[in-house]
A and B are shown apart, each in its own frame.
Chain A
Amino acid sequence: EPEVTQTPSHQVTQMGQEVILRCVPISNHLYFYWYRQILGQKVEFLVSFYNNEISEKSEIFDDQFSVERPDGSNFTLKIRSTKLEDSAMYFCASSEGPRNTEAFFGQGTRLTVV
């Protein structure tokens, strides 16, 4: 069964450092998403991406965040200068079409900022 793959599974970084979280969406999917979940809290939408541009972003997705599809397979989330409050589980998701009907989530990257 096809799946969304995220690397690394766990990343520890110093406050102020840049991190890049990587995702390989399902191969025939065209819509890509990043969500985050702070421990004990709800899943929060960050950004959606289609046709090499951002379709929608939330208030959380400020100038510290960026997304990129550097090649035909990877989809990355960069946090430029991490803060303690960026510590969370980050989930990548992808879907074939614009609706989330069949959006599949990756297993997540746990980011810990120290």
Chain B
Amino acid sequence: QKEVEQNSGPLSVPEGAIASLNCTYSDRGSQSFFWYRQYSGKSPELIMFIYSNGDKEDGRFTAQLNKASQYVSLLIRDSQPSDSATYLCAVEGQAGTALIFGKGTTLSVSS
């Protein structure tokens, strides 16, 4: 059974701070890793994807992947109140079609 685990939170950070969101996965054969943002009652919105070990930066967002530890994280720099949402970690299996989602971490950014 492929599992993706996330701390459900809530994670509370003040405006301007760095938010750090973490995710672990069970399937060592997983190849691709995704971070989605989901506002309440809305659909998931892709923020970033990462394939290779190391860091990948896109604006205020940095994804980090460590395949040996089966760990992926998302850093949000200069957090804004509009970043308040649930962040979903998703892992793509070897077959390449299904995304396996974690339950998500709720982030609250206070102004």
A99's contact among B32, B43, B90, B102, by CB below 8 Å, is which?
B32
CB distance from B62 to the nearest CB of A (A): 18
A97 to B49 Cα, complex, angstroms: 15
Complex interface residues of chain A between 20 and 69 (CB less than 8 A to chain B): 31, 33, 35, 41-45, 48, 50, 55-56, 58
A108 touches B43 (CB 8 A): yes
Residues of A contacting B88 in the complex (Cβ-Cβ under 8 angstroms): 42-43
Binding site for B on A (CB under 8 A): 31, 33, 35, 41-45, 48, 50, 55-56, 58, 91, 98-108
11 contacts between A and B (CB under 8 A): A35-B101, A42-B103, A43-B88, A43-B101, A45-B98, A48-B97, A56-B98, A100-B32, A100-B92, A103-B46, A105-B44
Binding site for A on B (CB under 8 A): 32, 34, 42-46, 49, 88, 90, 92, 95-104
